[in-house]
Every structure is written in C-alpha cells, then in structure tokens.
Structure 1
C-alpha cells in the first residue's frame, strides 16, 4: 500500500478546495481518540472552520500543508509545517496536525508524511523543527524512530477527546 501513497504539498490556490476532505479526516481522527486540540464529539462545522483557517494560512504563506493520497487521489493523511514564527527564529518551524485516517494506519503513511515535511522544511531554509505529541502514543514512537530528539514531558498538558487528561512530549530535530 505505501507504494501507492503520494505525498505532496498543497498550493495556495488548491488549499480551499481541500477543506471538506480535510475536515472529514480530522473528524475521523478525533472520533478515533487522537488528541489534536479537539474534543469529541467534534461538530463537522467546527472541523471545516479549522481547515478554512489553515487554507487561509497556506494562502498567506504562513504554513505548508502536505497531504498523503492513495492512487485514486483519496486523502489518507496530512501534516503541516508552521512557518510564521517570530523574527528571531527564521531558521525554525513547528510541525503540526499530523493526521492519518484510521483505515490507512500501519501502512507507512505517517513515516512518509514526516519525511516529506522534513524535506519541505529544508526547502524553506528551516534547520530546526519542533513538535509535540501525546506521551506514550504511537506517534511518540514514530518520531523517535525517525531520529527526533525527546526534550521532555509535561504531565496533564491537554485532554484526550473523551475528556481524560494526557501528558504531552516535546521533540526537536536538527536538519
């Protein structure tokens, strides 16, 4: 399956047309228990509003939006590179909202998205990347395998979609 996966950066003119499919992906991930800033149940309108804001950021050049698609063009996953940071951090970017549809997990999609976001960061002249994730989750293991350095953990940093508190682990990577 991973051979059939295409990772690409979504351009400013295309980003608004991807809002609906990205909203579906976000709803799927939150319903599946992903702690990605939203609580369950996640109203679809709220997911759409979030992705409209992302699309506007892509249009302004404040973020890079990458998508993973199957051979038929169906959305499997996404990740963002946040580029709009303070002027004393032009060399840095944050990686955010790495999402993979539940039906596409365990097929190498997340690893390919991470490799692609690192490539985009290099293209953007960024040499330090930072991200955070739920402590003890699959993503934490993925980042460690990909060479990211664990910085530390903040207990009870956020809530899982069901309202239970969770810790967050921070990572960085020098490119």
Structure 2
C-alpha cells in the first residue's frame, strides 16, 4: 500500500522540487484543469510560474505550499494565500489544488484540503475562499468538505485548452 504524506514546503524545498512541480502543473493543465494556463505551454513556463509567482510568496510567509507525496513522489499540491489586505486578517484563499492525473481518485485532494484548513486555523484564519471552474470535478469535493457556493460568474476564464469560456463558481467555508 502506498504511503501518503502531506507536507508544507518552504521556499528552498520547493525550489529543489521545481521540476516536479512544473511537471505536475503541466500534466494537470493538459488533462483539462483550468488553473490560469492554456495548453500548449512549455515546461519552462511552468517552472517560471513556481519560481517567479509562488516561491517569493512562500519565502515571504504570505503563502503556504503543500505537497502530497506518495512514496516520496510528488503527486499533488495546494496553496493557501494568506497575503490579505489589513481589513481581512481572518481570511485566506485556497489556490491551485493540483493532483497528478495518474494519482487521482486516491483521496489526495481531500487530504490536501484538510491540511490546508489546519494550516489556516494555525494562522488564525477563520474564512476560506476559493474559485473553481463551474462543473469541475473538484466542485463536489469542496461541497463535501462544507464549502458553500457564494455565486457564479459566467464567461470567467478560458478552459485549459483555450477552446471556450467557462463560468467560475466562488465558494467559501467558515472554519470553527
């Protein structure tokens, strides 16, 4: 039986896993995930996202980057953005929940979300928000974890293939 570990990566650890993180992002987008990228895009562009957008925020303490490791292999990741305005110190945003297509349907996304909630509570965040492509495979997961729909925005973003505009669903969860 495979061993699943969910760990928070610091910037140095994330940089060491940059090739794996880039491959994870590319695999998810090429499998249809709507996570700000449109295929085709290069592995260098995927690495640049992690290196230039994510790692500085992790290093500065404004973002938590979780990694899901299956027998030591990166199988998924998720981010918690705590870099909120001064009037929102109680809130954080769930970002980029990614599970490699070959590791799906094994409870990895749920485990990442549960750990993100724990990380949020440790940082005194009592409200989590997120958005997902309306009708996406992850939407039932979020609802099963107690996230409530705040609304939808039509034509919000191109799908991962750049073929059509998708609506996005905004969800939230108040943590105890």
Please, what TM-score do these two structures have when normalized by structure 2? 0.95
State the match for 1:101 in structure 2.
100
Cα drift, residue 16 of structure 1: 1.6
- Distance apart, 1:13 and its partner CA: 2.9
SS of the aligned residue for 2:111 comes to helix
Match of 2:61 in 1: 61
Q: How does 1:71-110 map to 2 (within 5 A)?
A: 71=71, 73-110=72-109
1:23-67 per-position Cα deviation (integer Å, ceiling 9, x unaligned) = 000000011010000000021111000000211211111100001
Counterpart for residue 174 of structure 1: 174
Q: Offset at 1:15?
A: 2.2
Partner of 2:127 in structure 1? Answer: 128
CA offsets, 1:102-142, max 9 Å, x none? 00001110011100100000011100000000111111111
SS of 1:42 mapped into structure 2: coil
State the aligned residue count: 173
Which structure 2 residues correspond to residues 1-175 of structure 1 after superposition, within 5 A?
4-53=3-52, 54-71=54-71, 73-163=72-162, 164-175=164-175
TM-score by length of 1: 0.96
RMSD across aligned positions (CA): 1.0
> Structure 1 segments of 4 or more deviating over 2 A?
none
SS in structure 1 of the partner of residue 130 of structure 2: strand
Can you give the 5+ residue segments of structure 1 that lack an aligned partner in the other structure? none
SS in 2 for 1:162: coil
TM superposition shift of 1:151: 0.7
SS of corresponding position for 2:47? helix
Distance 1:42 1:144 in 2: 31
- Supply the distance in 1 between the matched residues of 2:42 and 2:157 (Cα, whole angstroms): 19
